Every structure is written in structure tokens, then in C-alpha cells.
Structure 1
């Protein structure tokens, strides 16, 4: 009798467990980010579809901490913008009911950077994925106006009125904001379409030189061109949206330069041999070198008397 009772309990347990496995996907569905996503921005939009009857709280864990999604029961979709670090990021979206974990979804996201060798070549499993297509946008249309409401060349008086603002506002939160981004003239640069709407031109310098035409003429006439300029990769060193550093550079000047020119760090410190006065807290590489183009070897702003070895 006791054995049959235990057997019945085991059957009931297995039935409940299998029922939970079948219904698990109904708790939460992650629209973005897609698994193994590759990107270059340090911000990420997380968009989830939650079963409001089964979920009353959602938390997003990343290497930079845990953030709550403030659930809006009037919406089918819930979204949150989070910050990431360079390299691999494991993003875990956990849903709860009455403070009990009911579901967990994991997404791996890689933030690449051409400035640093260790982040330049992501593992093969990562690939670019895009959100803005007709299918994905339909899922957001109940809460967001997915059309472009900007007038070419006309800045918004109130940038919050841009249809792009609510989802992408964090890209301009830094001290220095690039004019097109600060005025939310997104399609000034995001005007291409291939796998997604609102892509940028590649290489990106074609878009940059539409406004910075004088710089293009000046640098093109110079004898020596720095590789990032010649490859058209302005966004390698400059963030096209915003940065805590002047001229929208991605890091402090010396940190950018030595990200690629690591060998110069120790070599330049041997000042008697190299004649270099830079690579310390008081002096920047750009004190002597121009980062774009020059008529002098080594992109010097002017020749020096001492021979550079």
C-alpha cells in the first residue's frame, strides 16, 4: 500500500513537471537581443514579451549589475536599455511571480572594438543581428510609433518628440553629443537598408564627409594618411553619437593610440633613445602627432631636429 502511494506521488510530480516544461516558454519571450549578438555599441535594448498572468517582475542581469524592468501591464511588450562592457557579456533575463523565479532566458552579446586587439576579433559564434524589420516592428507598434517623424536637416525643438528617442535615448547621455545625434536627425546617417532598416553607409566616412567636407579636402591633400582615415573607419576612434571625451573620441587620446600601438608604450618611455616626450600623464600623443594625416613622416605636426629611430 505504501509503495503504491509513493508511486502515485511520483506520477503526479512528473506530470506537474512536464506541464511546467511545456508552458515554460509562455512566461517570457525575448525579442531582442538575439542569441550570440555582435555589436559595437555599449548600450543594448532588451525587449521581452511577458505573460502578465504568470509574471509580475522581470530582472536583467549583466556583467555590470542587475536592473529591474518596470512592468507596464497595459503593454504586451516590455523593454529596457542597459549598458554593457567591451568583449563578452552574458545577459540573463529572469522572470518572477510572487518573488519566485519562474523563467530564465540567457543571451550572449559581444561588444567589439577596433581599438583594442583583445576585442577586435570576436569568437566565431557571434554575428551581427538587426531588429528593424517589418516583422519585429509590428510587435512594438502597439506602444511605439515606428515611423520616422524627422524632417531632413531640421532639429527637434523637443528631442523627446523624436520617434527614435524613447528606445535609443541612452546613446546621447554622455557629456559631448555629436550634432546629428544630439538633434535626433538619425536618418542623416542611418539611411541605408539591407538586412535591416536604418543602417549606416560602409565605410562610414562617406556619411561623415557629407558634413566634414573641409576636413576631407585637407587630409586628402596630405602626403601621409593614417590607416583608420584611409580605410574610412572614422567610428573606430570616434563615437558618432556621444562620448565623455571632446571630439567624440571613444577613450582618452593616449589610450586610443596605444590600443593599436602598444609597442610604442615602452619604447617611447626610453626618451633619450626615441626623443619622444609623450606617453605620460602630462603629455598626449597628439601634442606631436596628428591622428589623421600629415605631410611629415610618422604623422608629425612638424619636423624635429633630433633623429627619430
Structure 2
């Protein structure tokens, strides 16, 4: 009897210890199994400095360390997701000893990115942060008022705007899009939905409509002309400019999600096969039976690389196959480079 009694005492102590360890931190954000359309995920973690002195966020081979101090109880860190599935481990330490481990799984979805699968992404929920209920959790540390400049009311210091303090990492790119660079967030993030996300209205006060072309046309008046082209490109016809362009910024020209040739061949995979573009009878043998599509200088645009857009207009054209040509004959496009 004494043995059984002692066993239950030891079991209770062990369970109590585990309960204390598992409560050392609490991940408030993000929720598990969330789908993202942007690359950034912000972790919001509650921690007690008496129990924890270090938090480590592990994303594959990338580790991010947060030092826990007595100055605050909640810690925020934005990390960059890679395309498709992400499993992120959060560990709590005290004096170098691992106390507890938690994890979050998420999916970064854009169908031109490598490894992304629309059917896999449907297993994940789409969640929005900027609802009144969610913002109430952050008011103690952050100003959650709609303190955002408009094009007719610029700010002297954009770092004082509401969005900047949490989302400034969006501009850590070589090329930044003007509305984002000037923190004119409300130009696109109107709170209204579009045809493809109208059911999401009311879930976020900073919702951006999908398709986004109505907001792009606010500055780019040519958008509607492209959509009315005789020969149109699928993403443009659908008004889904974000499929190819990152509206905040990019390491690539024109805010593209990939370099031009890589972006085009994501959908047009057959064009990525060497020797599989343009009729062989019309090209030199040195090109191995086909017209080159990259790794050459562009004769029509000095200083530029020859890529798909040297011959094709990705937004729309009066010429067949989106060719940049005048007249009705498709081989007129050849005259851009071949003057004879």
C-alpha cells in the first residue's frame, strides 16, 4: 500500500513539473495551420522572465534568439517564410536548459513560387490579424489606431506611422513599390474585398481586394487598356497582378516575384526545355534548332538581357501570342532585332 501511495506522489510531482515547464511560454500568434499570402509571419510570445531567459525560434537551419528580460511580458518577432509548408519550432530556455518546446505549422502560398501546391495549401486556414478582437491583445504595447498617411496627407516621418513599427521589414528589398515605400497602405488595403475574397469582408479592416487590379489602376491607368487587349495574358485578364508582382517590393526588377525568364517558365514549362522554342527552320544551327530565350544580349534594348519579354508583352498585345509587333504578320516581331 505504501508503495502505491509513494508511486502516486512521485507521479503527481512529475506531472506538476511538466505542467510548469509547458507553461513557461505561450505562443499567442500565429495560430497553427495558417495559410499566408505574404512571406512574413509574426510570432507573439508571452514569457515570464523568472522562468525563462531565452526563446529560440527554429526554422530549418535558421535560428532566431530572443532575450527575455523583466521589462516586458510579451515578445514579438517577424520571420520570413519560405514557399509552401513551414514547420517552425519555438524553444524556451533557462540558464541553458531546455524547458519546453512548441511548434507552429504554416503555408506560404503563391502559385508561381517553387514547391507550392494549391491542394496542399487548402489544408491550412486563412486568418487575419487586424480585427478588433485581435488588436485588443496588442494595445498595451502598440498604437493600433489607423495612423496611416494618405497621398494628400504625407507624414514628415513615416517611422511614426502605425504600420511601420510592425511591417518595416517588408521594405528590406532592392526595389520598393511607391505606395509601400511611402507607407500609403490604405491605397491598396481598403478593407474591402473583391470577386475572389468578398466573403472575407469584415474579417480585417485592412483587407485588400482580390482581384487587386482596381487598386493597381488607381495609379497605373494602363491596366484597363491591357485588360482590353485583343490578345490577353491570363493573370492580367483576371486582374490578379499579384501573381507575378509583389506589391510591396522585390529583389527583382518591376517588383517581380522571380527573375523574368524563371517567372515565365514557371507556367510555360515547355519553354524551359533547351531547343524547344520557335521553328528550327528559321534560326541558325548554332542555336541548336531553336531561338534562344536567355543568356544573350537584347539587340533591341541595349544594356538589357534577352528574355521572354524581349519578344512578348506580358500584359497584352494587338499581336498574336502577345508578340511585340506591328501589323498582322507574326514574323514582324523579328524585325526588332533582325533588321535585314
* Fold conserved between structures, TM > 0.5: yes
Q: How far apart, CA to CA, are the structure 2 residues paired with 1:116 and 1:138?
A: 34
Q: How far apart, CA to CA, are the structure 1 residues paired with 2:282 and 2:79?
A: 44
- Per the alignment, residue 67 of structure 2 pairs with 70
Tell me by how many angstroms 1:217 deviates. 4.1
Tell me by how many angstroms 1:26 deviates. 2.5
Pairing 1:264–2:271 present? yes
Contact 2:52 2:68 in 1 (8 A): no
Contact 1:26 1:51 in 2 (8 A): no
Q: What does 1:1-309 correspond to in 2, within 5 Å?
A: 10-116=7-113, 118-123=115-120, 124-153=122-151, 154-192=153-191, 193-213=201-221, 215-266=222-273, 268-269=275-276, 272=280, 277-282=291-296, 283-302=306-325, 303-304=330-331
Tell me by how many angstroms 1:281 deviates. 2.2
Tell me by how many angstroms 1:81 deviates. 1.0
Q: The residue matched to 1:202 in structure 2 has which SS? A: coil
Contact 1:116 1:260 in 2 (8 A): no
> Higher mean Cα deviation, 287-296 or 264-273?
264-273
Tell me by how many angstroms 1:239 deviates. 0.3
Q: How far apart, CA to CA, are the structure 1 residues paired with 2:8 and 2:260?
A: 66
> Higher mean Cα deviation, 218-227 or 53-62?
218-227
Distance 1:207 1:64, change over 3 A: farther
The 4+ residue runs of structure 1 with deviation greater than 6 A are 6-9
Tell me by how many angstroms 1:175 deviates. 0.9
Contact 1:36 1:110 in 2 (8 A): yes
Tell me by how many angstroms 1:183 deviates. 0.8
Query: Which runs of 5 or more structure 2 residues have no equivalent in the other structure?
Result: 192-200, 284-289, 297-305, 335-340
TM-score (norm 2): 0.82
Q: How far apart, CA to CA, are the structure 2 residues paired with 1:20 and 1:188?
A: 52
- C-alpha root-mean-square deviation of aligned residues, in Å? 2.4
Q: How far apart, CA to CA, are the structure 2 residues paired with 1:221 and 1:186?
A: 28
Aligned pair count?
303
| Higher RCO (C-alpha under 8 Å, 6+ residues apart) | 1
TM-score (norm 1): 0.90
Q: How far apart, CA to CA, are the structure 1 residues paired with 2:103 and 2:93?
A: 15
Distance 1:263 1:273, change over 3 A: farther
